[in-house]
């Protein structure tokens, strides 16, 4: 069994680190909010460190799952950062969704220190993390990927190396671009069904079995129709991800009109106070816009 450090115990990292401990690995955890790390220790076997540098001492593999570019840079190369104490030949595996620029910067820095870096963003949401069935897309050296694959399989249903450093993050961008359009399309379909006097559940039962079917449809239509959005992947985080996608598109010349449009729709939801709502709240936005239109029409009459 490997000696592993896990940095970041949010809604994704908490169960992921738990799967590693349950599998028998020697896990040391670090989290900015110490109370969450202490709670983790009550549930799983492992040890607690009070900063990243202490967490990674003698670790073979270091996993991180934090919030954004700044958070990753802080735990990797900031004060008491992990890179300062990682042993030669160990591998830093980053599960955060960040810019490819930061990933490539950390990869280059790792090479000068005799350590290794793999970008390994994840998809599957909180349920995927809890059930150990995440999709993991990796970028980095093939020799490093071969070493880490058995570890990543503990909490994934599919894990693939896509290419060199940054390829994992760019693949995650593809994932978020695709999701943005899918959720908006599903929201419009359900909204159209309601406006047409159709039973949305009956509609989904039929169309989900054909070409319109998707993970979003299967896993989100029920909560959307029930007006339940206090769960899942937050709008605030999706906007962070979509802005990474749009910046990368500007840099490589990719045209992303739907992504840009949906990003603005999520901005509307933030203005509505829904920054922590699930991304499926695009449906709620349509209903609220419709309600405003109906109110205006009544006032005009």
Q: Which one of the listed residues 109, 157, 172, 267 is annotated catalytic?
A: 172
Contacts (Cβ under 8 Å, ≥6 apart) of 155: 15, 16, 19, 20, 129, 132, 133, 134
Known catalytic membership, residue 172: yes
What beta strand segments (E) does the chain contain?
3-7, 26-30, 47-48, 61-64, 91-94, 116-119, 122-123, 134-139, 156-163
Distance of alpha carbon 179 from alpha carbon 214, whole angstroms? 10
Q: What is the sign of the dihedral through the CA atoms of 100, 117, 105 and 69?
A: positive
Residue pair 106/77 in contact by the 8 Å Cβ criterion? yes
Question: DSSP string covering 214-252, please?
Answer: -HHHHHHHHHHHTT--SSSSBHHHHHHHHHHHHHHHHHH
Distance of alpha carbon 9 from alpha carbon 66, whole angstroms? 8
Q: What is the phi/psi pair of residue 59, to 5°?
A: -75, 145
Catalytic residues: 172
């Amino acid at each position: 069994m490997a000696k592993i450090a896990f940095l970041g115990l949010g809604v994704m990292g908490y169960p992921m680190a738990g799967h590693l401990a349950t599998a028998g690995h020697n896990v040391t955890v670090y989290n900015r909010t110490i109370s969450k790390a202490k709670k983790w220790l009550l549930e799983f076997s492992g040890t607690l460190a009070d900063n990243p540098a202490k967490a990674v001492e003698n670790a073979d593999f270091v996993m991180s799952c934090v919030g954004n570019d700044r958070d990753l840079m802080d735990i990797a190369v900031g004060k008491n950062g992990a890179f300062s104490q990682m042993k030669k030949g160990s591998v830093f595996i980053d599960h955060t969704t960040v810019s490819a620029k930061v990933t490539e910067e950390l990869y280059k820095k790792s090479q000068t220190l005799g350590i290794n870096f793999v970008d390994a963003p994840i998809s599957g949401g909180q349920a995927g993390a809890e059930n150990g069935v995440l999709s993991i897309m990796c970028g980095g050296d093939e020799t490093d990927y071969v070493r880490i694959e058995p570890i990543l399989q503990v909490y994934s249903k599919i894990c693939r190396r896509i290419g060199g450093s940054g390829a994992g993050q760019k693949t995650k961008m593809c994932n978020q671009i695709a999701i943005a359009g899918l959720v908006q399309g599903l929201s419009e379909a359900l909204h159209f069904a309601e406006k047409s006097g159709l039973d949305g559940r009956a509609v989904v039962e039929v169309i989900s079995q054909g070409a319109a079917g998707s993970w979003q449809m299967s896993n989100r239509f029920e909560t959307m129709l029930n007006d339940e959005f206090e769960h899942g992947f937050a709008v605030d985080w999706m906007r962070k991800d979509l802005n990474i996608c749009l910046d990368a598109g500007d840099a490589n010349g990719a045209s992303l009109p739907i992504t840009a449009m949906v990003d603005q729709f999520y901005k509307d939801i933030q203005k509505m106070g829904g920054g922590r709502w699930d991304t499926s709240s695009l449906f709620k936005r349509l209903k609220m816009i419709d309600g405003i239109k109906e109110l205006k029409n009544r006032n005009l009459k």
